[in-house]
Amino acid sequence: MEFARFFDLPISTRSNITDIADAVCGVSTDAHATLVAVDELHNLNTATRAGAEASDTLKYFSERIPAFVYAGISLARTGLLSGPRGEQTAGRFGMVRTGPFGQDQQWTALIAALEDSLRLHRHRPGALTRLDRYLHQRTHGMIGSLLWLIRGAATNAVLDGTEKITKKSLDAVDADFTSQSPRPPAT
């Protein structure tokens, strides 16, 4: 249903899940969809009826739309890829294991993209990218920790009226739980 809403497909009250899925597949193919990213799959509980149906629907889509990327934390250890249903799903995908960002050009590009999305009136472009080493040290290269830190500093900048992020304002933001660990998390 969420995919159908995204495509603004008219859904009649008589439509069943197969009708809806077929319509979504048709529109995705017609639109030449090249990437469909589904995140947070670690939250999908296949032990429940709703979770099992969602898993089956995602498998159905992936067989008909060659554009799916599934993402989540420790998916190999979740029920999504185990048991009869999970083994079918696992047999249709490859696994790309990821970890923290290294302190490199990708890290700096990520910071630049986040900085570009800021809407702070007095923030100077490039201020955060110049702090790339500091930000890596504070976050251990974890994107969630980086988002937490920048979001916190941006919120404080709006509330205190400074409308900019500096090293001092970043220092004032308490680190998230993961980045408080003395060493980077295991990948």
pLDDT given for residue 79 in this prediction: 75
Number of residues in the chain: 187
Side chain identity, residue 9: L
CA gap 105, 157 in Å, rounded: 27
Q: So what's the pLDDT on residue 132?
A: 97
pLDDT score for 111: 98
As a whole number of angstroms, the distance between CA 141 and CA 99 comes to: 9
pTM equals 0.69
Q: Give 10-residue mean pLDDT values along the chain (187 residues).
A: 90 87 92 90 90 88 86 82 83 85 96 96 96 96 94 97 97 86 57
Type of residue at 49: R
Find tokens 């995919």 and name the residue.
3
| Residue 140 falls in which region: left (phi positive, over 0), alpha (psi -120 to 50) or beta | left
